[in-house]
Structure 1
Amino acid sequence: MHIISISNLPIHQIQYLTAASGGIGVVERYLPVLLGEVDYLPNNLKAITITSDLQGIDPKNQQLLGYLVIEELEKLADIGKIPSLKNTGMILAGDFYAEVNRRSGVVGDIRDIWHAFSQQFCWVAGVAGNHDSLGNTQEEIQVFKQNRSIYYLDGEIRINGELNLAGISGIIGKKTNLSDVLRKNLLKQFGN
């Protein structure tokens, strides 16, 4: 599977709230939904969705941004802008926990958000970010990893049909525009 292109213009934007830089105040942001094109999708998939750093809050109901992303992607699928979520794999690349009034040092349990994604998509694979926990004990993490439609990655390779999935959880990144870095790295690694 090679990425051919990733759009520069979003097909949709999702409004959310997040803590301002420096932790003083709350700011409104917009999460872009970008389309990419690949030469081949394995396992009879119609699409793979990739997201990370959903460190925000839905302004309407004060839930984690990940729940709003699921709702918005369902709407886009319903109107035919993206394929059905049931025929789509989801890659979660970490940092899904947020508190609207604090930015640094915040860590929270994100198992429920992973389960919410796994109920809508045919499978979910990914890593936990440095703001995410998957329970308080190794036993809780092991129970979480036993879900058949979830491929939690932390230093191992998991096989999903024709896909080999690998990742390392808890990595702290540099302060850069992650969507630009992600786009460049994906094109460099998988593009032509």
Structure 2
Amino acid sequence: MFFPLLRGTVDVLPEDVSALLVLSDLQGVAPHALHDGAVALLGEVLADELALLGELGELPHPSTIGVVLAGDLFSEPGANVRGASGDVRSVWLAFASHFRWVVGVAGNHDTFGGAREQTRFQQRPGVNLLDGEVVELDGLKVGGVGGIIGHAGKPGRREESQYLRHLVDVLRTGPDVLVLHQGPDVEGTRLRGSPVIREAVEMAPGSLVICGHAHWDEPLATLPSGTQVLNVDSRAVLLERAAAAH
């Protein structure tokens, strides 16, 4: 399977973390080489194949990589229904089974079983599904808000005022990394997103913002406040510590 892995560097990572693997909007399926070619969600296949590359030494060892998922990881088996919604626990658990930890948010098309099943899922070791919360992982403070702004009666959406309340609460904690499904726009460019989310994150610079939902031709942008935004819609990006990258 061919899926591009972009590689970049960050100045600071926790001592025990050699890289962050950041992904979003993996709305596809692929034959799974480890399961006799049976079709699986793209994220499941990527988790196993990228972990194998780490075991072989072509990437950092998976036990030293933290995974960040920015949502929308489901696809119908034929990958022929755009915007299909469904259960993405298998993708999260595939990454959690190989890598140091997984943190992220739900997209507007992601489900995690029923309410009781989602609670059990969130209690699993190494799984950190955020929606208005902040966690500290190996000393890295990560906050997240899932879903998108929209009509609250539809799945994966909440009214603008409620969304912004969650976002501001997270930003007040000063996270190192802010994970969103819907990200900011970049004023004066073709990089699409939400102006109100941009205004909120600009008031609290200092976080690396990771998002998806709307595809950007260029994955990285810097807002006037200095906040960097990494859009990983339909992408996998490996962020390594600058000194360790090669």
1:142 aligns with 2:153: no
Q: Which residue does the alignment assign to 2:133? A: 156
Separation in 2, partners of 1:72, 1:112: 15
Go from structure 1 to structure 2 and tell me whether the alpha carbon gap of 1:47 and 1:179 turns closer, same or farther (over 3 Å shift).
Answer: farther
Are 2:81 and 1:81 aligned?
Answer: no
Q: Counterparts in 2 of 1:24-173, with a 5 A limit?
A: 31-59=3-31, 60-99=37-76, 100-104=79-83, 106-137=84-115, 139-171=116-148, 173=182
| Contact map agreement 2:63 2:100 (CA 8 A) in 1 | yes
Shift of the 58–44 alpha-carbon distance from structure 1 to 2, 3 Å rule, reads same
1:110 corresponds to which letter in structure 2?
V
Q: Find the aligned partners of 2:85 and 2:48 in 1 and give their Cα distance.
A: 24
* Cα RMSD for the two superposed structures: 2.3
Asked which structure has the greater RCO (Cα within 8 Å, sep 6+), the reply is 2
Structure 1 residues 155, 185: closer, same or farther in 2, change over 3 A?
farther
Q: Match of 1:71, SS?
A: helix
Q: How far apart are residue 171 of structure 1 and its match?
A: 2.0
* C-alpha spacing 1:159/1:58, structure 2 compared with 1 (3 Å): same
Residues 123-155 of structure 1 deviation map (CA, whole Å, 9 limit, x = unaligned): 000011111101122x22221111121111111
Structure 1 residues 176, 144: closer, same or farther in 2, change over 3 A?
closer
Paired position in structure 2 for 1:4: none
Distance 2:70 2:124 in 1: 18
Structure 2 Cα separation of the partners of residues 63 and 48 of structure 1 = 24
DSSP 3-state at the match of 1:62: strand
Q: Where does 1:3-22 land on structure 2 (aligned, <5 Å)?
A: 14-15=1-2
SS at 1:40's partner residue? coil
Report how far residue 190 of structure 1 moved. Answer: 4.6
Which consecutive unaligned segments of at least 5 residues does structure 2 have? 32-36, 150-181, 183-192, 194-212, 230-246
Aligned-partner Cα distance in 2 for 1:152–1:177 = 23
Give me the identity figure in percent.
Answer: 38
TM-fit CA distance, 1:78 = 3.5
Q: Give the letter aligned to residue 112 of structure 1.
A: S
CA displacement 1:26-72 (0-9 Å, x = unmatched): xxxxx310111111211411111000111011044321001221132
| Partners of 2:122 and 2:216 in 1: CA distance | 27
Amino acid at match of 1:102: V
Question: What is the number of equivalent residue pairs in this alignment?
Answer: 159
One-letter amino acid matched to 1:189 = T
Q: 1:79 offset after TM fit, Å?
A: 3.7
Gaps of 5+ in 1: 1-13, 16-30
Q: TM-score of the superposition, structure 1-length normalised?
A: 0.74
